[in-house]
Chain A
Amino acid sequence: MIYLMKLLRNDAVELVKLFQSDPNLIDEYVMETYEVIDEVEDLIKSYITLRPLDDVLRDCREVRERVRKGFKGRLAGLLIAVKDVIVTKNLRTTCASKTLIDFLPPYNATVIDRITAEGGIIVGKTNMDEFAMGSTTENSFFFPTHNPWDLSRVPGGSSGGSATAVSAYEATMALGSDTGGSIRLPAAYTGISGLKPTYGLVSRYGLISYGTSLEQIGPMARNVGDLALLLSVIAGHDPRDSTSLYVDEVDYTRFLRLTPIKNYKIAVIRECIEEGVDKAVLTSLNRSIYLLESEGFEISEVSIPAIKYALPTYYIIAMAEASSNLARYDGVRYGYHVRVEDRLWDEAYSEVRSNGFGIEVKKRILLGTFVLSAGYYDQYYLKASKVRKLLYDEFLKIFNQYDVVLTPTAPSLPPKIGEVITDPMKLYLSDIYVCTANLVGLPAISIPAGIVDDMPVGIQLIGPKLGEGTLINIAYIHEFKTGLKNLTPTVVRPYVQS
């Protein structure tokens, strides 16, 4: 057995340091990564578009020369996977949809510009549920992605390909997008960390919209340190996004401290542990609670009765926004197309949209159209927006008293491929704990809390507005105490010297 991973086992910060002292190591690291990809990609299918090794090596040579000349980019030489919902100039961006099967964006998302400015190298575009609609990465036009811990299970979604690429060492870090848990759920299912930032902290410019008012781009990594590094690079004000917050640049790695910045008060939401949670999940959660308590943190139970309405509220709003955001796909200016000659516009559009979108996307557009339509707006969209306000106020109250809220990330272990996809209620249920943070625009992180039956389990911490530093500080302490860092999923174990 050849052990492929020598450099790869290092944390990102360590790698960047190594590359600074010996820029030639960048090539070696890229080769190692591509060897791993060669071994595991056919099994897990993380990438829709993997950049050819030669192209990546060309970028890598460029970074190497810059480093030789003194460039100190925070990501200099690191390979980063990008969810295929984020536009990349002249690199195909599909949203895992037939609708955008050949779309070549003429521009970069702001996060991409930020990453490349720091010397990061895009390795490829990762698989996802079509237009980020799903929780399993089975709703991809191309293929489902498999969980590297158990190939018969889903990796979670919709940022499933980004999660598996990171988990299986096919990239050092990744960007996901999170509309209702799409970063955190797959992070939990694949044993990595994922963070959804405060709404407005990371630019949405270049993020192909699904649920505009809910979603953020966020980092995914194998450890909290890497996560903090990538967040530091992508966070910050962007004049191209009207919802962008005026914030100063923050170096989140300064929250990577084992001594807590303060004596944290943590709230556990009673409704999230009372019922419907798997024993495996509850056991891991309880161990984390115990561990955090032993750190001296104060842990209390709080009740938010309205939280049981968060899931339908989230889906009503997300689908309403989706029905609007996806109206533009008509085949005229880009994407899947039918010939226009002698076709009436609504007929041609209907053909494009009916053939280009997958069934889950069509369902969500139709339902979203419904909740906004005359006669139903008040009953669904308006009412959901009022529930959203209730939840928003509840969380404001909680954060007057507590520093973070703790919940499971998912109610159960990752389902088997094909198990939940046929039943929307089962599928939607996986978002029950993660979707609330999107409704209220607050930052939330999922971190590994245990491994049960050789499957990872995650917990979620929700913070107050712009409380990313607090989340990272607690997550870092938790990671150190549990030792749940740089986990090795089954599929790559043969290539690691233990």
Chain B
Amino acid sequence: MSSHNVKIGLEVHVQVTSLKTKLFCSCSSDYRGKPPNTNVCPTCLGLPGSLPVLNAEAVKAGLMVALALKCSISDLLIFSRKHYFYPDLVKNYQISQYDGVGGAAIAKNGFITINFNGGPKVVRIRRINVEEDPGKIIYPTGSLLTSKYTLIDYNRSGIALLEIVTEPDLTSPKEARIFVDTLRSMLEHMGLVNTELEGSLRVDANISLAGGSRVEIKNISSSKDVEKALAYEIIRQSKALEHGESIRRETRHWDDVKKVTVPARIKEVEEDYRYFPDPDLPPIKLSATVIEEVKSKIPELPDQRVERFIRTYGLSEYLANVLVARKVLADYFEECVKTCKEPELIGNIIVNDFKRWVEELDLSMNAAINMLPPTDLCRLIHLLNGNVINIKILKGVIPKVLKSGKNVETVIYEDGYADISDESVLMRIVDEVIQENPKAVSDALVNPKAINYLVGQVMKKSRGRANPDLTNKLLIKKLNEIGRASGSAG
């Protein structure tokens, strides 16, 4: 692949999901799942006479990303109008930013260091724009080509977006994927973007092969698909070049169902966006004070966190990097370590088992963590340390939990993975047996020897896996409690 001298540049659009309202109006930013066109006002519907008023928090979000990406920041925050006609665009221009005469991007000339092939690589950031998201078009047949009309929901119209554009510094699909993952983790760590929300991160990728023209692939919605789409394009383009065909400059669309790129527009529209500074939005001075204030609020970023993981928990660089690549995962790791120590073991289990299964089963990280919360993972480690289960069993329990949604205890119990020496598991069976055998219980209360019947019942119920000593101990304890309770009642 590298023989083709591939150049890739990315344009990443992220919604600032931490904001409560849209970029230029006070409609809620929480538009997902609402009935169509119920989250709009005159401004985000572009009604005649309406005006935009900038969300002050959005400026801070833009500045924070600019600082984290080591950009130089513009003296003035200037919004420009980008003109093109499209049914999802209420004013037929998008309020965006323009790095040219009369305009400015909030920030430019930054970089991100990614880890690729075991070494660091610097990817330059060309610019960052603050802009508004358009509404959403739904195709009644499900296909853009066959629908006779479109259905438009403007609930998303006006959501605050950051557009982050790289220089064409990436040289392979894998590298592009790692870049997106690294950027995503930074945004997550700054608390600005919940990337688990559908559509919160969208990538356009530009790719050119030596001897070909630049092709833009629009609307890719995950880092995995970034890699796939680019790999697909390289094969498509290199085949064409090998056959002596020329690659023309065009825009293509990523079909994430068929996993292919298709020409995006039947019609090639002349591109002349006629940018000019939006007279509805006077330029805002970005003072050193504001920038300092934002700087002081930047939380620990991924590279700092990796370093800390290595230093504090003695993790390998690899483990630390994989954990920190997703903020939720790194948070999960730290929560577990807090509960049951053993950072290296936990790190290994999370990376090699938990994360692998989450990906295999295509679960969201948050949902998976809910299924196996830190206390449950720690219980497994506790059982492992008490030699109740071995590491092989532990590794087997994790996918069972993630697949079934049952908790750790249930899985262990049902699958007969262990001698039941765990008090809480056994207690559940003891309780059941006491409930089901009231006569035997009252017998045992007057005649201690009658307890043997109850022990037998527990053994039966646990299919012989209950630890006899512990069973005895627990039954006596329970009977004593019952005895005391009835005694004091009488």
Binding site for B on A (CB under 8 A): 86-87, 93, 95, 100, 103, 105-107, 109, 204-209, 212-213, 239-243, 320-321, 323-324, 327-328, 330, 332-334, 340-346, 349, 369, 372-374, 377-378, 381-382, 385
Contacts and interface: CB of A to CB of B under 8 A. Distances in A.
Contacts of A105: 42, 47-49
Interface string B73-104: 00000000101011100111100000001100
Nearest to A320: B276
Main secondary structure of the interface of A (DSSP, over half): loop
B49 A109 contact: yes
Contacts, number: 110
A480 B69 CA distance: 66
A242 B272 contact: no
Given A107-B42, A109-B49, A342-B149, 12 more contacts: A100-B48, A105-B47, A205-B51, A240-B53, A242-B53, A324-B276, A330-B85, A334-B48, A343-B149, A372-B83, A377-B101, A381-B276
Interface string B267-283: 10100101010011110
A105 B42 CA distance: 9
A364 B148 CA distance: 33
B102 A382 contact: yes
B25 to A, nearest CB: 9
B280 A243 contact: yes
Nearest to B269: A346
Given A330-B92, A382-B102, A340 B49 contact: no
Contact of B83 (A87, A100, A324, A341): A324
A321 B279 contact: yes
B174 to A, nearest CB: 37
Interface of B: 42, 45-54, 81, 83, 85-87, 90-93, 101-102, 148-150, 152, 267, 269, 272, 274, 276, 279-282
Contacts of A343: 149
Given A107-B42, A208-B49, A243-B280, A345 B85 contact: yes
B38 to A, nearest CB: 14
Contact of B93 (A212, A324, A333): A324
Nearest to A205: B51
Given A342-B148, A372-B276, A382-B101, A240 B85 contact: no
Contact of A205 (B49, B101, B269, B272): B49
Given A93-B48, A328-B90, A345-B86, A213 B279 contact: yes
Given A324-B81, A372-B276, A377-B101, A242 B282 contact: yes
Contacts of B276: 320, 324, 372, 377, 381
Contacts of B45: 333
A98 to B, nearest CB: 14
Closest 9 pairs (CB-CB, A-B) = A213-B279, A327-B92, A212-B279, A372-B274, A87-B49, A208-B48, A206-B49, A328-B91, A208-B49
Given A327-B83, A328-B92, A242 B274 contact: no
B355 to A, nearest CB: 44
A333 B48 CA distance: 11
Contacts of B282: 242-243
Q: Which residue among A107, A212, A321, A327 has the maximum number of chain B CB atoms within 10 Å of its CB?
A: A327
20 contacts: A100-B48, A107-B42, A205-B50, A240-B51, A242-B54, A242-B280, A243-B279, A243-B282, A321-B279, A324-B83, A328-B90, A330-B92, A340-B149, A344-B267, A346-B85, A349-B85, A372-B83, A374-B274, A377-B276, A381-B276
A233 B152 CA distance: 40
Nearest to B43: A240
Given A242-B281, A320-B276, A204 B51 contact: yes
A205 B93 CA distance: 19
Contacts of B269: 346
Q: Which residue among B46, B47, B49, B52 has the maximum number of chain A CB atoms within 10 Å of its CB?
A: B49
Nearest to A100: B48
